[in-house]
Amino acid sequence: MNKAFTKESDAADDDDDGPALPSLPAGTRNYMTPAGYARLRAEFMQLIDVERPKMVETVSWAAKNGDRSENGDYLYGKKRLREIDRRLRFLTKRLDVAEVVDPSAHHGSEQIFFGATVTYANARGEEKTITIKGIDESDSLAGEVSWISPIARTLLKARVGDELQLVTPVGVERIEVVEVSYPAPSPAA
């Protein structure tokens, strides 16, 4: 049979959570800062309370207009609904296993834990500052790295002054922890 006359299934698209973010390592928790959790939760609520109902209304209206095969509003609406539902499934899974960790609990500590902002220097004396965050909230352009990244795994549990060996694609690099800081605890209400 000619492929032009067969309907391609959208079912495969519905099960895919997309390439948006990396998967969690097996058996680990999804550590997040309170701000990261709040952002994901706000996105979830925006999708479920605002965007999805609006898109359902658009698709319903477009379906009443007759021929669906050439109805752009209907076709786009169905595609957008699948995208929203896929994202909602992804967010539900991530929020269900989220463990919120407040980095301010370690304020004043010189040991590196989740949520730390760390300045380290390499053998050439070049300094770099990063913040260790959850995989769903880290932004490399803002100097944030996931706690499962190689640099974060090397730094975790180290202290100021420790010399460490960071395994990179070009070989082993020696780094030294220069400074560790955490956000200040928020004042009690």
Same structural domain, 91 and 113: no
Residue 77 in domain: yes
95 and 112 inside one domain: no
Among 80, 100, 120, the domain boundary falls at 100
- pLDDT at residue 63, rounded to an integer: 86
Condensed to tens digits (0 to 9), the pLDDT of residues 70-86 reads 778 888 999 999 999 99
25 domain-assigned: no
pLDDT of residue 159: 94
Q: Residue 157: left (phi > 0), alpha (psi -120 to 50), or beta?
A: left
Q: How many separate domains does the chain show?
A: 2
**Domain check: are 114 and 175 in the same one?**
yes
Q: 95 and 137 in one domain?
A: no
Instruction: Indicate the residue among 100, 132, 149 that finishes a domain.
Output: 100
Residue 80 is part of which domain span?
30-100
Q: What residues have CB less than 8 Å from 13, skipping those under 6 apart? A: 82, 86
Same domain for 58 and 70? yes
The pLDDT profile of the chain, 189 residues, written as one tens digit per residue, is 454 544 444 444 444 444 445 667 666 778 999 999 999 999 999 999 999 999 999 888 888 887 777 778 888 999 999 999 999 999 999 999 999 999 998 988 899 999 999 999 998 989 999 999 999 999 999 999 999 999 999 999 999 999 999 998 889 999 999 999 998 887 754
Burial class (CB in 10 A: 0-12, 13-18, 19+), 113: middle
71 in a domain, yes or no? yes
Per residue in 26-43, pLDDT tens? 667 789 999 999 999 999
Q: Are 84 and 136 in a shared domain?
A: no
Identify residue 127 by its one-letter amino acid code.
Answer: E
Chosen domain end from 51, 67, 100: 100
**How many angstroms separate the CA atoms of 25 and 135, rounded?**
11
Burial of 11 (0-12, 13-18, 19+ CB in 10 A): exposed
Instruction: Tell me the three-class secondary structure of 115-181, residue by residue.
Output: CCEEEEEECCCCEEEEEEECCCCCCHHHCEEECCCHHHHHHCCCECCCEEEEEECCEEEEEEEEEEE
